[in-house]
């Protein structure tokens, strides 16, 4: 009797771990190189390696057909779907000067204003939804949002997981240090030995790794600044657009300053794979650059020097 | 840069909105999970073996995986796997998905506490009830239930206090509860940026809320002291 019960339990446990692996893999395949999917699949991956490999094969064939169906579904879908809903759901985070709330709680910023204009050109309203930045590809793929429009750096991670618009804004990763030590840290060589706070999974973390710098990953760019202000990290690497707004005299972090520029990069808007909204936005960017409305909008938020000719 | 006294009302307003969301999630979970937990605890004692086994496995999965993963699965899977985002991207959708995840998770923990309460009542009371000609239902509701409630109140209180703090996990699916509201000021929100103290200030809200709950639950415990 006891043996029987034990076998039943073992068999069910195996079934469940198989099922868990299956769904984990599916999720991973759908969202490309998305961070969170990685965490999730690694959570399930070590349960049963042999079963995992077998599942993978099965999923691969299943996914091809699934992907095709999805693509044919969404290519003629996104613009029509947005119009039908009457709103364009824009995934954002609170990120000055691109998307942030004014004192009345309305979303403003260079990206927010452009998104409102783009939605208007489609004849719909823009609805802003705050998302967890780590989950951006999952938010898109699951259809909870229609685009990610939030000063998103066009990295390999982003471009492989989403269809991105043309770049519209220049950015750079720069080193932020306490102002009183700034004179010592004016070149890449001089900052080699520092301990850097970086946003986990950000472009800043990537450029630090490329340069062989020691990093401490933290939750977001503001946390990275807090680490430097609090002395728990020697320096931080953040976006230059953000640094311009938040670091230096007359800002929240008066004792910090930025010195070395580590790279150049560009911002773009992310859509679901195969979405027809991408081409629509490229057209919109071109039109609004040519009639000067993009530059005018950028001037409102002090980013006019960074925008890219369309 | 505004002074602390200028920041305070803006921050408190924003934290209040966040805490309202926290409280909403807390009460919805409690109202949903307590009865569901009781039903599950009956199921795990059912005479029908398949029901018993399925529920035991379900409890094992729910108690054995992180609530954070459960939140992600419940919110994202409908859209990712079935291509049908049933929850939607807005705040209501995120709240509903979070509520479902919390109710299921807490119902499983509650059910085990209820089960412990039910089996802690001596079998002699069942026998006495049967001798007096009571039905099983009468024995449970008229004899055992109140004694059970008295015994499980301390562990249930524990779970309730934990629940208040666990609601902060819902920020993983971008539900804007109080921790989210506090963190917003670090990056910059409503003209305040780089403010670190609002995040730590959220602890005061939790502390006050749990203080009140402790008093309330202690009061109920005292009321039940008239019998042993």
Across the interface, which of A12, A100, A226 has its CB nearest the CB of B188? A100
Tell me which chain B residue has its CA closest to the CA of residue A144: B89
Tell me which chain A residue has its CA closest to the CA of residue B70: A40
Domain boundaries, given as residue ranges, for chain B: 4-226
Tell me if B85 and A144 make a contact (CB, 8 A cut-off): yes
A38 reaches B (C-beta below 8 A): no
A138 reaches B (C-beta below 8 A): yes
**What number of C-beta contacts closer than 8 Å exist between A and B?**
126
A256-to-A168, A178, A195, A224, B176 alpha-carbon distances in Å: 28, 4, 16, 12, 30
Helix A293-300 vs helix A277-290: angle between axes, to the nearest 10 degrees? 90
Confidence tier at A10 by pLDDT (50, 70, 90): low
The answer to whether residue A25 scores a pLDDT higher than 90 is: no
The answer to whether residue A68 scores a pLDDT higher than 80 is: no
The predicted model scores a pTM of 0.71
pLDDT (tens digit, 9 = 90+) per residue, B176-202? 899 988 888 876 667 676 778 888 999
Q: What is the structure's pLDDT at B136?
A: 87
Residue A293: count of CB within 10 angstroms of its CB:
14
Q: Tell me what the pLDDT averaged over chain A comes to.
A: 79
Confidence tier at B5 by pLDDT (50, 70, 90): confident
Assign B9 to helix, strand or coil. Answer: helix
Q: What is the structure's pLDDT at A11?
A: 59
Four-way CATH pick for B4-226: 3.20.20.10, 1.10.8.60, 1.10.3720.10, 3.20.130.10:
1.10.3720.10
Tell me which chain A residue has its CA closest to the CA of residue B77: A142
Tell me if B187 and A222 make a contact (CB, 8 A cut-off): yes
A279 reaches B (C-beta below 8 A): no
The answer to whether residue A281 scores a pLDDT higher than 90 is: yes
Confidence tier at A55 by pLDDT (50, 70, 90): very low
| A18 or B42: which leads in pLDDT | B42
Q: Which of B62, B188, B190 to mutate to test the interface with A (most CBs of A within 10 A)?
A: B188
Q: What is the structure's pLDDT at A32?
A: 39
The answer to whether residue A22 scores a pLDDT higher than 80 is: no
Confidence tier at B107 by pLDDT (50, 70, 90): very high
Q: What is the structure's pLDDT at A17?
A: 53
Helix B145-166 vs helix B197-223: angle between axes, to the nearest 10 degrees? 180
Q: What is the structure's pLDDT at B19?
A: 94
Q: What is the structure's pLDDT at A43?
A: 43
What b/e string do you get for B51-78 counting C-beta neighbours within 10 Å, with b at 16 or more?
eebebeebbeebeeeebbbbbbbbbbbb
Helix B4-44 vs helix B91-120: angle between axes, to the nearest 10 degrees? 50
Confidence tier at B83 by pLDDT (50, 70, 90): confident
A23 reaches B (C-beta below 8 A): yes
The answer to whether residue A249 scores a pLDDT higher than 80 is: no
A144 reaches B (C-beta below 8 A): yes
Tell me if A132 and B85 make a contact (CB, 8 A cut-off): no
| A245 or B70: which leads in pLDDT | B70
Confidence tier at A72 by pLDDT (50, 70, 90): very low
Mean pLDDT across the stretch A170-189? 90
The answer to whether residue A282 scores a pLDDT higher than 70 is: yes
Contact A88, A124 (CB under 8 A): yes
Tell me which chain B residue has its CA closest to the CA of residue A254: B1
The answer to whether residue B160 scores a pLDDT higher than 50 is: yes
**Segment 33-62 of chain B within 8 Å of chain A by CB:** 53, 57, 61
């Amino acid at each position: 009797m006891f043996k029987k019960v034990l076998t039943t339990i073992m068999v069910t446990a195996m079934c469940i771990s198989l099922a868990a692996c299956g769904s984990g893999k599916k999720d991973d395949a759908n969202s490309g190189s998305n961070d969170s999917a990685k965490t999730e699949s690694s959570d399930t991956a070590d349960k049963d390696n042999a079963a995992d490999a077998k599942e993978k094969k099965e999923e691969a064939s299943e996914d091809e057909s699934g992907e095709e169906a999805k693509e044919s579904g969404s290519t003629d879908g996104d613009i029509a779907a947005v119009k039908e809903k009457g709103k364009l759901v824009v995934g954002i985070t609170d990120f000055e000067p691109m998307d942030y709330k004014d004192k009345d709680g309305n979303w403003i910023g260079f990206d927010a204003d452009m998104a409102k204009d783009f939605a208007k050109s489609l004849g719909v309203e823009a609805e802003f939804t705050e998302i967890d930045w780590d989950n951006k590809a999952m938010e898109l793929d699951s259809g909870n949002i229609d685009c990610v429009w939030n000063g998103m750096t066009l990295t390999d991670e982003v471009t492989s997981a989403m269809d991105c618009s043309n770049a519209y804004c220049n950015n750079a990763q720069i080193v932020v240090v306490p102002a009183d030590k700034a004179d010592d840290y004016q070149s890449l060589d001089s900052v080699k030995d520092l301990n850097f706070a970086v946003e986990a999974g950000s472009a800043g973390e990537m450029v630090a790794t490329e340069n062989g710098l020691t990093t401490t990953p933290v939750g977001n760019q503001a946390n990275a600044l807090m680490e430097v202000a609090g002395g728990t990290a020697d320096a931080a690497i953040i976006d230059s657009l953000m640094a311009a707004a938040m670091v230096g005299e007359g800002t929240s972090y008066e004792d910090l300053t930025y010195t070395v520029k580590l790279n150049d990069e560009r911002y773009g808007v992310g859509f679901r794979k195969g979405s027809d909204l991408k081409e629509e936005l490229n057209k919109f960017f071109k039109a609004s650059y040519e009639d000067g409305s993009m530059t005018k909008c950028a001037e409102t938020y002090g980013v006019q020097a960074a925008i890219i000719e369309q | 840069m505004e002074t602390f006294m200028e920041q305070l009302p803006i921050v408190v307003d924003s934290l209040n909105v966040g805490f309202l969301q926290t409280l909403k999630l807390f009460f919805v979970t409690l109202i949903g999970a307590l009865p569901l937990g009781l039903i599950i605890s009956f199921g795990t004692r059912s005479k029908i073996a398949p029901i018993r086994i399925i529920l035991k496995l379900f409890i094992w999965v729910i108690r054995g995986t992180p609530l954070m993963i459960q939140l992600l699965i419940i919110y994202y899977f409908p859209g990712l796997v079935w291509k049908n985002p049933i929850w939607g991207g807005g705040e209501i959708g995120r709240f509903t998905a979070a509520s479902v995840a919390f109710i299921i998770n807490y119902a499983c923990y509650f059910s085990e506490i209820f089960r412990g309460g039910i089996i802690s009542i001596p079998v002699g009371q069942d026998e006495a009830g049967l001798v007096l000609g009571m039905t099983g239902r009468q024995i449970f509701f008229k004899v055992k239930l109140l004694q059970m409630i008295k015994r499980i109140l301390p562990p249930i209180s524990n779970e309730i206090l934990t629940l208040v703090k666990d609601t902060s996990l819902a920020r993983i699916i971008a539900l804007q509860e109080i921790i989210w509201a506090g963190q917003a000021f670090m990056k910059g929100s409503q003209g305040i940026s780089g403010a670190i103290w609002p995040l730590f200030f959220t602890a005061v809200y939790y502390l006050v809320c749990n203080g009140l709950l402790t008093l309330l639950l202690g009061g109920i415990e005292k009321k039940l002291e008239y019998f042993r």
